[in-house]
């Protein structure tokens, strides 16, 4: 540039016009730079550098820096593309469906299994709201709730008789990952187990009715030899116990098979607690039962089932509380729902047993429970009734101080009585 300007100055000086010479040289230099700039811009836009004259000096440096960065960018792009291909191949190889949803529950991406399981189409369904495609209310509730521990089971939207387990986990910034798993086999097996238990209980009931009928007749007959009285009484008691076991097994399998409880009945819980307390066949040496009605709210559900919950919890409380103890049946409600609490001051339960109490046939002390008429199905029935009513069972207990069984109902199962207008 200096040489160029010096040449311009020399020519100008030769003709006695030093300044004009300099100015003309500067303008020519500027014009060349603008031309280079325009040609670089064109090359950038067309990605064709064949016509670009690199020259020397600053343009050579700019061009080599640009080439270096561009090559690095291309290399990185190739690496990213390969990585993306691998991620897609691995998500496609997954047997579970995965659907990425944005903050508006619109589909961002999904893998191949999501197509096979739920009929989602990668390109066509991108940008669609998931609840326009998978319309199961349980799934929509799960997606809208922020509970990432929960999962729901829904019928397959594309294959009759198939079932999907759905989970939603947080993913990226404000995104969610919907995971779909085929659980048809598990559901089929548990239905088979349920049907087997229900059928076996049903089939056993008829012969048992005949046996216990004859035993009733025998023990009522006055001419029974003296040494047969005790065995016949024992046989009669055991057949009654077997009948009780079969009835509870049948009840449990029916509860397990049923879905959510209907909301047709409006259950007056205070009335129900009082009725159960009065009607309960309470042994003479049993602890006292008190009802604390802190709310007049009602439950929307099945009355017979809620009554069975109260009866089961109350009979346990009576069984494990001494005469000097106290049993409290409490009903209270708030804007968060309502609680039905059965609290006793009995012997309590060791914390290690609490997680297993609702398992079928689980008893802390098998021999003792059997002696007192327990069969270990009561709390399993309670749990299933509560599940059907979208409620939860919370158990608190301390050995020696008593136990508290808390049935927590969600607000949509609770109807708060509207206050009567003042006249």
The site for ligand ADP (CB under 6 A) is made up of 312, 316-317, 320, 344, 346-347, 349, 357, 362-365, 369, 374-380, 403
From residue 357, alpha-carbon distances to 137, 363, 380, 394, 395 in Å are: 31, 7, 8, 11, 9
Quick check: 118 and 178 in contact, CB under 8 A?
Answer: no
DSSP assignment of 8-73: HHHHHHHTT-HHHHHHHHHHHHHHHHHHHHHHHHHHHHHT--TT----STHHHHHHHHHHHHHHHH
DSSP state of 129: B
CB of 226 to ligand ADP, least distance (A): 34
Q: Give the list of residues 6+ apart from residue 121 with CB closer than 8 angstroms, or none.
A: 115
CB of 314 to ligand ADP, least distance (A): 9
279/359 with CB nearer ligand ADP? 359
How many CB atoms lie under 10 A from the CB of residue 409?
24
CB of 281 to ligand ADP, least distance (A): 16
> 396 in helix, strand or coil?
strand
Place of tokens 């200096």: 2
Six-digit token string for 345:
């001051």
Q: Which of 66, 123, 132, 121 is nearest to 97 (CA)?
A: 121
CB of 316 to ligand ADP, least distance (A): 3
CB of 391 to ligand ADP, least distance (A): 17
8/346 with CB nearer ligand ADP? 346
Q: Give the list of residues 6+ apart from residue 11 with CB closer than 8 angstroms, or none.
A: 21
> 154 in helix, strand or coil?
strand
270/341 with CB nearer ligand ADP? 341
CB of 306 to ligand ADP, least distance (A): 16
198/382 with CB nearer ligand ADP? 382
63/362 with CB nearer ligand ADP? 362
CB of 247 to ligand ADP, least distance (A): 13
Place of tokens 């009285």: 229
CA 295 and chain centroid, separation: 30
* Measured distance CA(281)–CA(269) in Å, rounded: 20
168/286 with CB nearer ligand ADP? 286
Q: Which of 91, 84, 86 is nearest to 113 (CA)?
A: 91
H helix intervals, 47-100: 58-93
Element (H, E) at 156: none
133/364 with CB nearer ligand ADP? 364
CB of 413 to ligand ADP, least distance (A): 23
40/320 with CB nearer ligand ADP? 320
218/364 with CB nearer ligand ADP? 364
From residue 336, alpha-carbon distances to 29, 217, 231, 341, 415 in Å are: 80, 55, 55, 16, 12
CB of 120 to ligand ADP, least distance (A): 43
107/317 with CB nearer ligand ADP? 317
CB of 289 to ligand ADP, least distance (A): 13
Q: Give the list of residues 6+ apart from residue 278 with CB closer than 8 angstroms, or none.
A: none
* Measured distance CA(180)–CA(317) in Å, rounded: 42
């Amino acid at each position: 540039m200096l040489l160029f300007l010096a040449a311009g100055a020399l020519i100008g000086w030769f003709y006695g016009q030093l300044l004009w010479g300099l100015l003309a040289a500067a303008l020519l230099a500027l014009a060349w730079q603008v031309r280079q700039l325009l040609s670089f811009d064109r090359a950038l836009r067309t990605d064709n550098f064949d016509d670009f004259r690199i020259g020397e000096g600053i343009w050579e440096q700019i061009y080599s820096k640009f080439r270096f960065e561009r090559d690095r960018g291309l290399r990185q792009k190739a690496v990213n593309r390969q990585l993306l291909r691998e991620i897609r191949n691995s998500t496609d190889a997954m047997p579970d469906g995965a659907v990425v949803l944005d903050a508006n529950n619109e589909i961002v991406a999904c893998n191949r299994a999501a197509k096979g399981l739920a009929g989602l189409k990668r390109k066509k369904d991108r940008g669609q709201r998931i609840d326009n495609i998978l319309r199961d209310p349980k799934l929509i509730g799960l997606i809208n709730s922020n509970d990432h521990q929960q999962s729901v089971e829904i019928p397959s939207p594309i294959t009759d008789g198939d079932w999907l387990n759905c989970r939603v986990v947080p993913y990226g910034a404000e995104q969610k990952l919907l995971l779909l798993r085929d659980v048809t086999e598990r559901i089929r097996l548990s239905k088979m187990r349920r049907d087997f238990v229900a059928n076996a209980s049903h089939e056993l009931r008829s012969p048992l009715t005949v046996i216990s009928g004859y035993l009733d007749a025998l023990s009522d007959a006055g001419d029974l030899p003296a040494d047969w009285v005790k065995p016949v009484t024992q046989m009669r008691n055991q057949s009654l116990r077997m009948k009780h076991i079969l009835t509870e097994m049948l009840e449990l399998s029916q509860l397990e098979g049923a879905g959510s409880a209907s909301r047709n009945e409006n259950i007056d819980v205070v009335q129900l607690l009082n009725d159960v307390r009065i009607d309960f066949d309470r042994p003479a040496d049993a602890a006292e039962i008190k009802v604390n009605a802190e709310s007049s709210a009602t439950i929307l559900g099945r009355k017979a089932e809620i009554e069975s919950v109260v009866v089961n919890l109350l009979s346990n409380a009576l069984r494990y509380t001494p005469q000097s103890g106290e049993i409290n049946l409490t009903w209270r409600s708030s804007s968060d729902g309502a609680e039905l609490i059965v609290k006793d001051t009995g012997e309590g339960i060791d914390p290690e047993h609490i997680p297993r109490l609702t398992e079928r046939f689980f008893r802390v002390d098998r021999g003792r429970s059997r002696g007192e008429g327990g069969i270990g199905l009561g709390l399993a029935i309670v749990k299933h009734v509560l599940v059907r009513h979208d409620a939860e069972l919370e158990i608190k207990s301390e050995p020696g101080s008593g136990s508290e069984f808390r049935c927590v109902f969600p607000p949509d199962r609770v109807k708060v009585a509207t206050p009567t207008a003042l006249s």
